[in-house]
Amino acid sequence: MTTDFLSLEELKHKVNVLIGALYPHCDSQELTEQCLAAIGPRISKDVVAPERLWSEKDCLLITYGNSIREAGHKPLDTLQHFLHNHLQGVFSAVHVLPFFPFSSDDGFAVIDYTQVDPELGDWDDINALAQDFKLMADLVINHVSSQSLWFRNYQYGKDPGRGYFVEADPNYDLSNVVRPRTSPLLRKTDTADGTKHVWCTFSHDQVDVDFRNEKVLLEYLSIIGRYLDEGAQWIRLDAVAFLWKQLGTSCIHLHETHEVIKLVRLLTEYKNAHALLISETNVPNRENLTYFGNSNEAHIIYNFSLPPLVIHALLAGDCTYLKTWMMTMPPSPVGCTYLNFTASHDGVGLRPAEGLLDEGELQQMLQTLESFGGRISSRTDAEGNSKPYEANISLYDAFKGTYKGSDQWQVERLISSQTIMLAVEGIPAFYIHTLFATHNDYDKVKTTGHNRSINRCNWSLSDLNERLGKENGPGQRVFNELQRLIKIRAKQPAFHPNATQFTLHIRPEIFAFWRQSMQRNQSIFCIYNLSDQPQQLNLADINLISTENWVDLISGNAIEDLCDTITLAPYQNLWLTNYCSQ
């Protein structure tokens, strides 16, 4: 339910209750009014039914502002023109990764949340993108750059910034703190009040803010309000799981973190009824699911377990682990859905595979990805042991072969992975380099010294046009076919993000599931040969209703005999439906 079903007084009451629990030292009514003032005047008061927040037409593109460059042009302007000319009508939404001035981590160490990085463009360029697409903006909510005004002011004891950061005694036992990096947690910092040790979950250039200070909350509500005013509709809560710090705990997924998200959702929906919150929590699956709350936290959560399981299935030619996971996944609650992706600006997260892939399977997958040019990044667990944290590799090169080695099916495996993602319950999200079948960028890794740079290539527009224009080349084949599949998907009500989904049981080489539209007038049987060998499929095994006509949406071929046995070519995909709306 959105806040548009609430009166202003009911909204204030809900906010006041949350404020009172989070900040008992404050006047909760006064802080409630300050929160409403910080988020700013309302943009939209429309009533939005939960099932209408998204549809089968929604598909997200993930990109950096400078993923495509052209000499003499601002990168955001180049991106906008490329997307407008090639992908408008294909994607409904675009996620431009942090486009603010930054000091490290390709944008995730933000210096100033209120400015667009002049190396990329300006707010007019962001507004132009928001005219063509629903815009997702990053709220890097856990930390700021050590070069930000807030942190500099903190060091000098000035506002704003004084009291904004988490300090800890280096002699305190912090071994229970969960974090994704191997660098020391605390950064020694000289301040006007002497030497302090400040909390840095990710790096010493990314200093954690202290949400126990209500002024920090107000700062971020003001930033959200600015994003919404500038045309953003989707707000991505980066690294939100680590937001609240409490000594003596793991400092991840704390109760207060969930309460802050509830508060942010209430106020964001008040500001714009069409606005959506997306939680970015790269953690084991069960922990990730908690960010739906009781349909009152994130509208959308990243389906972090999907990438490692899809990659494993296609490398192994075996859907056992992928199928087992899918059978355990709950339907998303009312007013919520999943964001499905197989590649992103980060590596392939391995924590979301914990408890889903056994150690032997995980190690075999990582060894194979390394043989295809990938790098493995690690983290330190509570016992001080180094554990694999993510695999860094372009998705195209991840599918260079199978456990048996390289082969000729690289393009087919890549397309199959995306065809799976397009059909699974939720909203599909494509990383721009998957569309282009971009290779590992070893030169960028060498330049930056960071493994993640391997999948953060910056294309020159001329080189990209050459790749996409090469007749029957991998770039052209992938780019054209994925666009075609996205357009087919957008016409199928059974691919609504909340449409019913059931897993089918055939055999390890064939992954299959069934989607049914909420109006129950369309069924789609999604069937994938995950192996490099032809596979026989007896259509009687999937129980197609004999009184209806069936067609494969992907090939356009009709099914003449529902008891026939058909041969699936290596990595062939079927979307069999009784309701063709191509």
Question: pLDDT > 90: what percent of the chain?
Answer: 92
How crowded is residue 531: how many other Cβ atoms within 10 Å of its Cβ?
Answer: 22
CA angle 515, 521, 525 (to 5 degrees): 30
CA distances from 297 to 43, 44, 52, 228, 243 (A): 21, 20, 18, 18, 14
* Domain-wise residue ranges, the chain: 500-577
**Distance from C-alpha of 344 to C-alpha of 61, rounded to nearest angstrom:** 10
pLDDT, position 181: 86
Task: Give bridge partners of residue 63 from the DSSP assignment.
Answer: 96
| pTM score of the predicted model | 0.96
Q: Cite the beta strand spans of 172-286 per DSSP E.
A: 186-191, 194-199, 206-208, 232-238, 276-279
Distance, in Å, from the CA atom of 421 to the CA atom of 572, rounded to the nearest integer, reads 15
The catalytic site residues sit at 238
Phi first, then psi: what are they for 419, rounded to 5°?
A: -70, -35
* pLDDT given for residue 49 in this prediction: 87
Return the beta strands (E) in 419-464 as ranges: 427-431, 459-460
**DSSP code, position 212:** T
**Cα–chain center distance at 160:** 31
In the block, tokens 């996620």 appear at 95
Q: Give the Cα separation of 434 and 473 in Å (integer).
A: 14
pLDDT digits (tens, 9 = 90+) for 208-256: 999 999 999 999 999 999 999 999 999 999 999 999 999 999 999 999 9
Query: What average pLDDT score do residues 336-342 get?
Result: 98
| 73-470-473 Cα angle (round to 5) | 120
Mean pLDDT over 321-334 rounds to 96
**End-to-end distance of the chain based on CA atoms, in angstroms?**
33
Mean of the per-residue pLDDT values for the chain?
96
Q: Report the share of the chain in percent with pLDDT over 70.
A: 98
List, for residues 485-507, the tens digit of each pLDDT value: 999 999 999 999 999 999 999 99
Pick the closest to residue 565 from 522, 523, 510 (CA basis).
510
pLDDT (tens digit per residue) in 511-556? 999 999 999 899 999 999 999 999 999 999 898 988 899 999 999 9
Residue pair 144/207 in contact by the 8 Å Cβ criterion = yes
pLDDT tier at 5 (50, 70, 90 boundaries)?
Answer: low
* Element holding 580 (H helix, E strand): none
Q: Cβ contacts of residue 497 below 8 Å, gap of 6+?
A: 54, 55, 56, 58, 332, 337, 338, 425, 426, 427
Q: What angle do CA 307, 308, 312 make, to 5 degrees?
A: 120
Rounded to 5 degrees, what angle do the CA atoms 96, 99, 102 make? Answer: 140
* Average pLDDT estimate for 447-461: 96
Q: For the chain, give me the number of helices (H) and strands (E)?
A: 17, 27
Homologous superfamily of the 500-577 domain (CATH): Golgi alpha-mannosidase II (2.60.40.1180)
3-state class of 250 per DSSP?
coil
For 564, the token pair is 């026939």
Q: Which pLDDT does position 545 carry in this prediction?
A: 87
Q: Quick count: other Cβ atoms within 10 Å of Cβ 286?
A: 11
pLDDT band for 3, please (50, 70, 90 cuts): very low
Whether residue 349 is predicted with pLDDT greater than 70 in this model: the reply is yes
CA–CA separation, 374 vs 259, rounded Å?
Answer: 38
The model's pLDDT over 109-134, given as tens digits with 9 standing for 90+, comes to 999 999 999 999 999 999 999 999 99
Mean pLDDT to the nearest integer, 389-409: 98
If you count them, how many residues does the chain have?
582
- Other beta carbons within 10 Å of 302: 25
* Residue 370, strand partner residues: none
- What is the DSSP track for 332-371? PPTT-EEEEES--SS-EESGGGTTTS-HHHHHHHHHHHHH
